Amino acid sequence: MEDMPSIYIIGAQCTGKTTLVEAVSRHIRRERSHLSFTIIKELARGVLVTADVNRDDIRAGTEKAMNFQRLVLKTQLDEEQKLQNRGFIISDRSGIDPIAYANLYGPPQATTEMLGSSSWAALRKRMCQSIVILSEPVLPWLFDDGVRLMPEDISEWFALHNAFISLLQQSEIKFESLPATCNVIEKRVAFVLEAWETRAKQAASVTASAQETRDLSSAAATTSQL
């Protein structure tokens, strides 16, 4: 079985993440049916209910809202660990998403604490080994579903997007920016798949080089003993 990297679709609200996760998943099931993978759906909404937090709390940056973001981070790790023996994952959001929200709406120490947590250390390692797609805001897609936190204006929406970029760079996580101009689902799926295949080839090349180095070292050790 091919050892394929996981896929994280991340970004601000209303940037087409869930639709893209579903479309990419359908394509892989149809075209690469021999591959084993699982989908991690958006976890924050479920945590929102159990934590008794609303979007006004998040915007106000209350301690209850920061505890919510910490819980989302921990829940993401729990879900990934639970699924680690079922092939790669395709995740709707990631561990960096709650940190981005905390970064924009909470006190600076909340971001520092989350970045220094063991949960983030484990999730960051996983993301570094995967393909991370950051979806840029597409202006016509911004709508209020009555649950998600909505930006008060376009500048706030882009401020959240820029928080993602800053945190990814700070965490030294490579990512691909899915441009707003790529707004047709077929093209968006193709963008993700191309990045995914490229990442898989790079990982395979690194593994092959490491194996070659081990083989040469073993051969040299054997020769020295003769």
In a domain, 2, yes or no: no
Domain extent for 11: 7-224
What pTM was estimated for this model as a whole? 0.89
Reading across the β-sheet that carries 176-178, which strands appear in turn? 37-40, 88-92, 7-10, 131-135, 176-178
In a domain, 205, yes or no: yes
Q: How many CB atoms lie within 10 A of CB 45?
A: 11
Given a cut of 90, whether residue 63 has pLDDT beyond it is yes
In a domain, 1, yes or no: no
- Asked if 41 and 83 count as a contact pair (C-beta separation under 8 A), the reply is no
Q: Write down the mean pLDDT value for the chain.
A: 91
Percent of the chain at pLDDT > 70 equals 89
Total domains in the fold of the chain:
1
In a domain, 63, yes or no: yes
Given a cut of 50, whether residue 1 has pLDDT beyond it is no
For range 98-118, the mean pLDDT: 97
Taking alpha carbons only, the member of 118, 151, 72 closest to residue 64 is 72
Longest CA span, the chain: 75
Given a cut of 80, whether residue 193 has pLDDT beyond it is yes
pLDDT digits (tens, 9 = 90+) for 2-55: 689 999 999 999 999 999 999 999 999 999 999 999 999 999 888 888 888 888
In a domain, 123, yes or no: yes
User: Residue 43's domain is classified under what CATH number?
Assistant: 3.40.50.300
**Which of left, alpha, beta for 61 (phi over 0: left; psi -120 to 50: alpha)?**
left
pLDDT digits (tens, 9 = 90+) for 144-182: 888 788 999 999 999 999 999 999 999 999 999 999 999
